[in-house]
Amino acid sequence: MEDLHWKTGISKVEPNKILLRGYRLDELMGRISYGEAVYLTLTGEWPQQNEGRMIEAILVSVIDHGATPPSSLAARTIASTGAELNAAVAGGILAISHYHGGAIEECMIVLHDAVNYQRQKATSVEEAAAWVVESYRRARKRISGFGHRLHTQDPRTARLFELAAQWGIAGEFVVMARAIETTLKETLEKELPINVDGAIAAVLCEMGFEPALADAFFMMARVPGLVAHIYEERTRYKPMRRIHPSDIEYDGPTERSRDHEREASRVDP
Amino acid sequence: MEDLHWKTGISKVEPNKILLRGYRLDELMGRISYGEAVYLTLTGEWPQQNEGRMIEAILVSVIDHGATPPSSLAARTIASTGAELNAAVAGGILAISHYHGGAIEECMIVLHDAVNYQRQKATSVEEAAAWVVESYRRARKRISGFGHRLHTQDPRTARLFELAAQWGIAGEFVVMARAIETTLKETLEKELPINVDGAIAAVLCEMGFEPALADAFFMMARVPGLVAHIYEERTRYKPMRRIHPSDIEYDGPTERSRDHEREASRVDP
Amino acid sequence: MEDLHWKTGISKVEPNKILLRGYRLDELMGRISYGEAVYLTLTGEWPQQNEGRMIEAILVSVIDHGATPPSSLAARTIASTGAELNAAVAGGILAISHYHGGAIEECMIVLHDAVNYQRQKATSVEEAAAWVVESYRRARKRISGFGHRLHTQDPRTARLFELAAQWGIAGEFVVMARAIETTLKETLEKELPINVDGAIAAVLCEMGFEPALADAFFMMARVPGLVAHIYEERTRYKPMRRIHPSDIEYDGPTERSRDHEREASRVDP
Amino acid sequence: MEDLHWKTGISKVEPNKILLRGYRLDELMGRISYGEAVYLTLTGEWPQQNEGRMIEAILVSVIDHGATPPSSLAARTIASTGAELNAAVAGGILAISHYHGGAIEECMIVLHDAVNYQRQKATSVEEAAAWVVESYRRARKRISGFGHRLHTQDPRTARLFELAAQWGIAGEFVVMARAIETTLKETLEKELPINVDGAIAAVLCEMGFEPALADAFFMMARVPGLVAHIYEERTRYKPMRRIHPSDIEYDGPTERSRDHEREASRVDP
């Protein structure tokens, strides 16, 4: 019999004790936020500072984007056939790929290319930004993370950068993203502002995540949204209806603010 | 052309404004935790009190359970073929079903059956617990959420109930779960303590979630763990290796405590 | 180390020899049709008579049904995000469930219920058909496999039954399906003719397949169609387009007949 | 409302008439084999000669390869959790990727590279084979489709090439595959015989299929095998067992021949 013994460094399960990256799960519960637990699970280390809340802000920023994205439509289409929850969620996850969520990973690579160039050539940020825009243009590769079909000033970008600055996370990647935005505007003579994918990319780079993990953040963020769409599809519509991809009207609560409500939830024990 | 106009109450997307259940996403970012965002997304309403942190504690409690569960093995098996992240995560999600994660939903149904009986018949908790155990025994149905192959005293159960009590969430469903545990012990003359699935079930009932959403919590919790397994599989092992389902050794950090490290992360801006 | 040795009766792989259900794969190639190989793989036995060609006729009957079914739309939606073929095909498979393809399994159960009743009670076919229609009506369960939103006389039903008769496969289940069709017409005073799902159900019953395998035939049939849709989506349309679920025009070849072309392909070696 | 009208050339569905690539499905049933229907569905055209039976031979050649391949293990692992058939089959499909099945596509690209070089440079087959081996070596790219961990003389390769010759399909791609095999032997001084993936690749090239469709053939082939594994897992084993990836014993029928049995099935109507 071949020896198939193998090793994992993620978690250890013994009778009545489960360690995640060395920490007891029951000790983590209630003391660590989900965002911190995500950081610990993926990197193996305890967050240094505010990575946990930064991750939560990222997850909230893309938790849902209506019923028109392909992940929502795929999940609803599968749910509509009477499939179980695991099938419908998996279908939504399968639609998170190069053109849907994938811009985060692509933008992280652009930012790394530019920052590496800046470091190695000891150039200014502006020169590095100009170099990366030009080299992508020559290679006929798309610079992802800039511009949006619908949002000309994505409010999520400004907010993510504001939080990243406030929490001491913003650094050279955020600066580089802004420089590329400026270069694109000057070169192409049109506005291609950093979109939410680009902002998430910059912040993930700042926290040291590898581009290969970028899609994972989009998936973690979107699962609650997918579940909400699946649940609404099941409870509000008949099976096998034809699901129009854009003729969709929002009939949820009108715009409301969280200010007074927040107070009530602040009652800490 | 048939009229396919339809409505959704989850989120509204306009140029430069995205509303989730009526709240602007950019206002939510940094102000709402992921757990609170999950509550808002799934129920449509702002958390009343401590539901957000309760949900985060639930997610942390089952974020990973080593490499032996079928979801981890399915994800690793698919990752090992060189498949992309979406395929491997989807494969892990597909393995979250009746016998893996499904106990939460089943236990929620048991608890609702018992609590409904108690209310309708105006019986004591003990009578309702005895009734539900007996009626499931007669129907040859399994009472899920009690007993564990490995953990005789699952530390996550105690911790979840402790937090639920501390945060004002524990109520009749937790009481009923304890009563069923006692009844099972007396009836079967063996220990079948509430396991983490049963504890999660009770707490989800307390927060008003429907059993149909139970699996969703397990899925949300497990995605980071699945990603960690997929990433480790890709970076540490050759493609197409034979993955033994149990001859696995943990070689991560030895048990460590978070106390001193926690201090460092408390530096709020 | 626990003993995990286990057994399978499907195929045996040794150096330079692969046995499928006891037969060498290289001997089967070119001598057995795909339909016969499906029968052998699923049942473990060589087809008795014409089961292989019957299975192929079934597979051809549902190989594609345009771009509107949820399996096609889910596959196209996922393909449109730039996902790989495995992800898009898997998404299509996930949409084959209770309301899409699932009618075959449900109808097989109806037919088994009716035929079992007829045997046990030694009734006439008509009495058994009346009983099953009435008992489903009382239980408020749908009798699947009869009636179609679009096809009032599904030409595939007539053809499947014609082939089943010609090939000696039609028997009591086909008779029972016809009797139920008659009963439904008389009882409900409207036409609910056997649809292609019902016809496939009857023929699968005749060949001794279990209802639990019904969906598998629909999946085997539909994979080529799904691949054609995925390939067309990738090569003909831009990524991330909005895919309307019904405003679709066929622009393939106009109706043509296979008669003269068939001659050319008859040149056997 | 935006105009989302779109077109497809695959099939046309009208009341009581379904056209596949212009042919009525009910006319195809019983007259066309599944292999021919696959050719028609994917290419849009009626097979010229023996493509249908060639495709069926390909599908039979890889219909199953025991329980150890990742597609079988992923499907069984998911089935073992109590998941529905669509989830388990989809999980198996997701494991068909670069290192599992993907060699067919990679080898098709190698063969096209070599044949294109031969044509453009008007070289001998041997020179083109030497060029492609050398250029892949320099680029540190793997030449897929040659050599096998287990099968030193894969009987399926010989049989596929025999059938391709007999049916008038073998041509320059099969010749090139053989020349590459010879070059590899001379260059590397070890045997790297064409494996079944390489043989399928050559034959698919001969029939004019694009490399992008290669995985589809492996998927179509493997679905019956996956279903057999899922069904065996469900009916023979308890849920949630630990599935060893290689300590597996075949206990199906001992080797048997189809000769006498074939006679019985030859009773054509």
Q: Does D247 touch chain C (CB under 8 A)?
A: yes
- Greatest Cα pair distance, chain B, in angstroms, is 67
Return the pLDDT at A191. Answer: 87
Residues of B in contact with A267 (CB under 8 A): 49-50
Mean pLDDT (whole number) for D112-121:
97
* Structure-model confidence comparison of residues B257 and C229, the more confident one: C229
Residues of C in contact with B247 (CB under 8 A): 1
Indicate whether A183 pLDDT > 70. yes
Tell me whether strands D6-8 and C248-250 are parallel, antiparallel or unpaired: parallel
Tell me whether strands B23-24 and B17-20 are parallel, antiparallel or unpaired: antiparallel
How far apart are alpha carbons A85 and A226 in whole angstroms?
10
Cβ-nearest to D26 among C155, C215, C267: C155
**Span between the terminal Cα atoms of chain D, in Å:** 57
Task: At A249, give phi and psi (nearest 5°).
Answer: -115, 135
Residue of chain B whose Cα is closest to the Cα of A10: B252
Interface with chain C: mutation pick from A85, A94, A222, highest number of C CBs within 10 Å: A94
Cβ-nearest to B30 among A15, A20, A57: A57
pLDDT string in tens for chain B (269-residue length): 678 999 999 999 999 999 999 999 999 999 999 999 999 999 999 999 999 999 999 999 999 999 999 999 999 999 999 999 999 999 999 999 999 999 999 999 999 999 999 999 999 999 999 999 999 999 999 999 999 888 888 999 999 999 999 999 999 999 999 999 999 999 988 889 999 999 999 999 999 999 999 999 999 999 999 999 999 999 999 999 999 999 999 999 999 987 655 544 444 43
How far apart are alpha carbons A187 and D59 in whole angstroms?
53
Interface with chain B: mutation pick from C3, C78, C84, C242, highest number of B CBs within 10 Å: C84
Lowest mean pLDDT of A76-90, A148-162, B37-51, D232-246, name the range. A148-162
- CA D88 to chain A, closest CA, distance in angstroms equals 10
Cβ-nearest to D86 among A2, A83, A246: A83
Tell me which amino acid residue A88 is: A
Residues of C in contact with B89 (CB under 8 A): none
pTM over 0.90: yes
Residues of A in contact with C71 (CB under 8 A): 81
Q: Which residue has the tokens 């379904």?
A: D18
How many CB contacts within 8 angstroms connect chain A with chain C? 105
- CA C78 to chain A, closest CA, distance in angstroms equals 5
Question: CA separation (Å) from B133 to B99, B141, B172, B202, C88?
Answer: 20, 10, 17, 16, 45
Contact, A195 vs A148, CB < 8 A?
A: yes
Chains contacting chain C through 3 or more C-beta pairs under 8 A = A, B, D
Q: What is the pLDDT of residues D76-104, one digit of tens each?
A: 999 999 999 999 999 999 999 999 999 99
**What token pair was written down for D196?**
């079944």
Residues of B in contact with D90 (CB under 8 A): 90, 94
Q: Is B64 helix (H, G, I), strand (E, B) or coil?
A: coil
Residues of B in contact with A90 (CB under 8 A): 90-91, 93-94
Mean pLDDT (whole number) for A156-184:
97
Contact, B118 vs B168, CB < 8 A?
A: no
Q: What is the pLDDT of residues D189-226, one digit of tens each?
A: 888 999 999 999 999 999 999 999 999 999 999 999 99
Chains contacting chain A through 3 or more C-beta pairs under 8 A = B, C, D
How far apart are alpha carbons A37 and A29 in whole angstroms?
9
Cβ-nearest to D261 among C37, C46, C251: C46
Q: Does D15 touch chain C (CB under 8 A)?
A: yes
Question: CA separation (Å) from D199 to A263, B123, C52, D162, D224?
Answer: 69, 73, 26, 11, 21
Residue of chain B whose Cα is closest to the Cα of D75: B74
CB-CB under 8 Å, D90 with A247: no
- CA D202 to chain B, closest CA, distance in angstroms equals 23
How many CB contacts within 8 angstroms connect chain C with chain D? 384
Q: Does B58 touch chain D (CB under 8 A)?
A: no
Indicate whether A18 pLDDT > 60. yes
Cβ-nearest to D81 among B70, B78, B90: B70
- CA C243 to chain B, closest CA, distance in angstroms equals 13
Q: Which residues of C118-129 are buried (b: 16+ CB within 10 A; e: fewer)?
A: beeeeeebebbb
**What token pair was written down for C137?**
């009506």
Evaluated on CA atoms D68, D71, D76, D78, the torsion sign reads positive
Q: Is D65 helix (H, G, I), strand (E, B) or coil?
A: coil
pLDDT band with cut points at 50, 70 and 90 for residue D264: very low
Indicate whether A228 pLDDT > 80. yes
Lowest mean pLDDT of A189-193, A208-212, B68-72, D243-247, name the range. A189-193
Cβ-nearest to D83 among A1, A86, A245: A86
Residue of chain B whose Cα is closest to the Cα of D5: B1
Mean pLDDT (whole number) for A160-177:
98
Between D34-43 and C34-43, two packed helices, what is the crossing angle to 10 degrees?
Answer: 120
**Span between the terminal Cα atoms of chain B, in Å:** 57
Q: Which residue has the tokens 């199906």?
A: D252
How far apart are alpha carbons A11 and A25 in whole angstroms?
10
DSSP string, D211-229: GGGHHHHHHHHHHHHHHHH
CB-CB under 8 Å, B83 with D74: no
- CA A245 to chain D, closest CA, distance in angstroms equals 9
Exposure on the CB side of residue A19, measured as CA atoms within 13 A: 19
How far apart are alpha carbons C115 and C125 in whole angstroms?
8
CB-CB under 8 Å, C83 with A74: no
Residue of chain C whose Cα is closest to the Cα of A100: C81
ipTM of the complex: 0.95
Interface with chain C: mutation pick from D51, D54, D64, highest number of C CBs within 10 Å: D64
Cβ-nearest to D102 among B73, B82, B87: B82
Of C195, C181, C201, C175, the closest CA to residue C104 belongs to C201
Interface with chain A: mutation pick from B25, B32, B157, highest number of A CBs within 10 Å: B25
Q: Which residues contact B261 (CB under 8 A, 6 or more apart)?
A: A46
Indicate whether D265 pLDDT > 50. no
How far apart are alpha carbons B227 and B78 in whole angstroms?
12
- CA D131 to chain C, closest CA, distance in angstroms equals 30
**What token pair was written down for D161?**
């090439």
Indicate whether C72 pLDDT > 50. yes
Mean pLDDT (whole number) for C123-138:
97
- Greatest Cα pair distance, chain D, in angstroms, is 67
Q: Which residues contact D50 (CB under 8 A, 6 or more apart)?
A: C265, C269, D167, D168, D169
Determine whether A69 is exposed, middle or buried from the number of CB atoms within 10 Å of its CB (0-12, 13-18, 19+).
Answer: buried
Residue of chain C whose Cα is closest to the Cα of A77: C70
How far apart are alpha carbons A128 and B228 in whole angstroms?
33
- Name the E strands within D40-187: none
Scan residues 66-95 of B and list those with Cβ closer than 8 Å to C. 83-84, 86-87, 90
CB-CB under 8 Å, D77 with B98: no
Indicate whether D248 pLDDT > 60. yes
Mean pLDDT (whole number) for D25-51:
96
Cβ-nearest to B97 among D68, D82, D242: D82
Residues of A in contact with B268 (CB under 8 A): 50
Q: Does A263 touch chain B (CB under 8 A)?
A: no
Return the pLDDT at A259. Answer: 67
Residue of chain B whose Cα is closest to the Cα of C1: B247
Return the pLDDT at D149. Answer: 81
Between D125-138 and D103-121, two packed helices, what is the crossing angle to 10 degrees?
Answer: 120
Residues of A in contact with B224 (CB under 8 A): 37-38, 41-42, 216, 220
Residues of C in contact with D199 (CB under 8 A): none
CB-CB under 8 Å, A2 with D245: no
How far apart are alpha carbons C238 and C226 in whole angstroms?
18
How far apart are alpha carbons D104 and D214 in whole angstroms?
6
How far apart are alpha carbons C117 and C132 in whole angstroms?
8
* Structure-model confidence comparison of residues C28 and A149, the more confident one: C28
How far apart are alpha carbons C32 and D265 in whole angstroms?
10
Scan residues 161-190 of B and list those with Cβ closer than 8 Å to C. none
Chains contacting chain D through 3 or more C-beta pairs under 8 A = A, B, C
Q: What is the pLDDT of residues A77-136, one digit of tens each?
A: 999 999 999 999 999 999 999 999 999 999 999 999 999 999 999 999 999 999 999 999
Residues of D in contact with C218 (CB under 8 A): none
Indicate whether A1 pLDDT > 90. no
Residues of B in contact with C2 (CB under 8 A): 246
Scan residues 24-53 of A and list those with Cβ closer than 8 Å to B. 24-38, 41-42, 44, 46-50, 52-53
Contact, C231 vs D228, CB < 8 A?
A: no
Report angle CA C181, C187, C189 to the nearest 5 degrees.
Answer: 90
Return the pLDDT at D259. Answer: 67
